[in-house]
Structure 1
Amino acid sequence: MAVLEILEVPHPGLRAVAKPVETVDDAVKKIVADMFDTMYDARGIGLAATQVGIEQRIVVIDLQEPESEEEDAKPVRKPLVYINPELISVSEETSFYNEGCLSIPEQYAEVERPTGCRARWLDEQGAAHEGDFDGLLATALQHEIDHLNGVLFIDHISKLKRDMLLKKLTKMRKTA
């Protein structure tokens, strides 16, 4: 398919609120395929359509966990598609995860999120699903749904940490 351009901060498109997908058709399936190509090319584990300038509620995730505990174990691809995802509920218990984002390259921060969530979504065929998520998948899904709502992971950290992170990003861009 195609590798799309990933928008980076401070692009205003990253603050757009995505519109629901009306019909899961061939055009949506092409967007999904292009998003996976883009995410794999950028070595990410999740991508929201708004990150590639498409204001539709589409998320792709693949944690690409290794097939074994060995150091050189190959990652196993398990592509997951979430169309019109919405959180139904989140756990009261929270945890911290050192999050990064393809739209904020090479920058990471500890973000506190609910450890689990329940969501509903459509799959690539348009079938409705509802399920519970925990661990890294719950974090990734919440992170990507935030993108669909115009929210970045840096919005969940203090202003001081956010300013430091953005300053590092600016410096990195100047030296590149």
Structure 2
Amino acid sequence: MILPIVAYGAPILRKKAVDITPDYPQLDKLIADMWETMYASSGVGLAAPQINRDIRLFVVDSTTIFENLDEEDKGKYPDEPGVKKVFINAQILGFNEEQWTYNEGCLSIPRIREDIIRPTTVTIQYQDEQFQTHTDTFNGITGRVIQHEYDHIEGKLFIDYMKPLRKKLLLRKLNDITKGKIKTDYKMSFAK
């Protein structure tokens, strides 16, 4: 089932999410709905707070980015061909010092894209759908998508990394999103 995406301005997007256990109600269905919602929205990642759940769960499919790269960009990224994974109860263990800039967007903040600086590599501990624990290191675009989605379960948004002046210039657009004065190709839920 395709779920509505929570729009910027909703308090849940600023709340730190909580861990879950294997007995979380209908977890398999929730994960399936998150995949369906993400793909229907043309996203490459989706976190539970974006569908109004305050739990530490997100899904990432960076393979779609690589499938859609122009021929001249293929082979440029170390994480090609990407990954498709579920992350439950994730905790970032560390980053490398090297950083890079990449243009990011967010399903909860439609029509706004900005160049954001993030570490090139992230090490994260998480559980999969069977609650098996993994510790993996991701880099390139995949590492970036994971950092972006992880921020959602920490109550952070990509716009928090912008310089104050740039964010101030976008204030009207952000307010329009909060008030529901935007149109998207996917279902959205706006703060009341």
TM-score (norm 2): 0.81
**CA contact 1:87–1:117 (8 Å) conserved in 2:** yes
Distance 1:105-1:130 versus aligned 2 partners, 3 A rule: same
What TM-score do you get using the length of structure 1 for normalisation? 0.88
Provide the residue aligned with 1:152 in structure 2.
157
Change over 3 Å in CA distance of 1:39–1:77 after alignment to 2: farther
Once the two structures are TM-superposed, the CA of residue 68 in structure 1 deviates from its matched residue by 7.9
Match in the other structure for 1:52? 51
Q: CA deviation at 1:22?
A: 1.7
Aligned to 2:13: 14
Moved more, 24-33 or 150-159: 24-33
- 1:35 is paired with a residue whose SS is helix
Aligned positions of 1:20-169 closer than 5 A: 20-23=19-22, 27-63=26-62, 64=64, 65-66=66-67, 79-169=84-174
* CA-atom RMSD in angstroms: 2.3
| Unaligned segments of structure 1, at least 5 residues | none
Between 158-167 and 113-122, the greater mean CA deviation after superposition: 158-167
Given residue 6 of structure 1, which amino acid in structure 2 is its aligned partner?
I
Percent identical pairs in the alignment equals 37
Higher relative contact order, structure no. (Cα contacts within 8 Å, ≥ 6 residues apart): 2
User: Which moves more between the two structures, 10-19 or 59-68?
Assistant: 59-68
Per-residue CA deviations over 1:86-125 (Å, capped at 9, x if unaligned) read: 1111000001111100000011111111100111111111
Gaps of 5+ in 2: 73-80, 184-192
Paired residues of 1:99 and 1:110 also in contact (CA < 8 A):
yes
Distance in 2 of aligned mates of 1:4 and 1:47: 11
> 1:55 is aligned with what amino acid?
D
Taking a change above 3 Å as real, the CA distance of residues 16 and 25 of structure 1, as seen in their structure-2 partners, is: closer
Q: Deviations over 1:129-166 (max 9, x none)?
A: 11110001111111111100100000111122112223
Tell me, in whole angstroms, the C-alpha distance in 1 between the residues paired with 2:135 and 2:128: 10
Query: Which amino acid is the alignment partner of residue 158 of structure 1?
Result: K
Q: 1 CA distance for matches of 2:68 and 2:165?
A: 39
Given that residues 105 and 169 in structure 1 are in contact (C-alpha distance below 8 angstroms), is that contact kept between their aligned partners in structure 2?
Answer: no
SS at match of 1:92: coil
- Say how many residue pairs are matched: 171
